[in-house]
Amino acid sequence: MTLYSLLLHLFILIGPFAAGAIVIVNEQHPLPKTGNSIWNTQDDVQKALQDAEIIPTVIDDFLPSLLMNATWSSHHHTHADLGNTLEPSLLESAPSVKLMASKPTLWKKGVTYVIAMTDPDAPSRDDPKWSEFCHWIAIGVPTSSGISPTFSDEIMGYKPPSPPEKTGKHRYVLLAFAPANGTTEKLHLSRPSARKHWGYDVGNDGDKDTKGVREWAAENGLVPVGANFFYAQNKKH
């Protein structure tokens, strides 16, 4: 088994990182075999996004170059895992996000990575008139070692998932972005003017003309490089 294949199936180290930390990992720094969540392959991620209709509803089709894990410190086992269901009460603080590159050459020193979380099912999947709803935008820069965490600056503060009563399961999508031009300069990202529709005007037909993270990323010159997602719903179904 190659080092790459081995790393893709290693368990995540649940370290003492503060909420909202972004950890960058490359294959020169394998993760210890502890914890409960595992890295999935790029093909796994792409297929899961397609099956959940996140591709193309939320983002255009892409093959992730980075693998992503998001863990909430409120509970040791609370992590996004390509469509698992999480209890909203365990998601009150921003997650620690860990990214892994399949090969060191995919990293470019000094490039800023952007994490976003969006809900395309607001207020419900059957009636997405607020879609998409922006829950979080944060940034982080990998260190030269590729493994030290850097605490992310928030462009849009973290808003915990809080699906309304009787609206079924919501898809909460986490996306990692990088600048399309590969710049190492500081990014000057726009802040959405509102969480609903990511601040975009959708006219009078919001349920058919949803806007969100795809438009925001394009506006800011970002391309998707990684993704994960989970479901959450109100206890009063």
The predicted-structure confidence for 78-131, as pLDDT tens digits, reads as follows: 899 999 999 999 999 999 888 887 666 566 677 889 999 999 999 999 999 999
Domain at 82, CATH number: 3.90.280.10
CB 167 within 8 A of CB 233: yes
Look at residue 21 in the predicted model and tell me its pLDDT: 60
- Asked whether the bond before 165 is cis by omega within 30 degrees of 0, the reply is no
Q: Is 104 a domain residue?
A: yes
Element (H, E) at 23: strand 21-25
Q: Between 82 and 1, whose confidence is greater?
A: 82
Q: Is 33 a domain residue?
A: no
Digit-coded pLDDT (tens) for 134-150: 999 999 876 555 443 35
Look at the chain and report how many structural domains it folds into: 1
In which domain, by residue range, is 189 found? 42-232
Digit-coded pLDDT (tens) for 5-55: 333 333 333 343 445 665 555 443 343 333 344 567 889 999 999 999 999
**Exposed/middle/buried for 105, CB within 10 Å: 0-12, 13-18, 19+?**
exposed
Is pTM beyond 0.75 here? yes
Q: Is 12 a domain residue?
A: no
The percentage of residues in the chain with a pLDDT greater than 70, rounded to a whole number, is 72
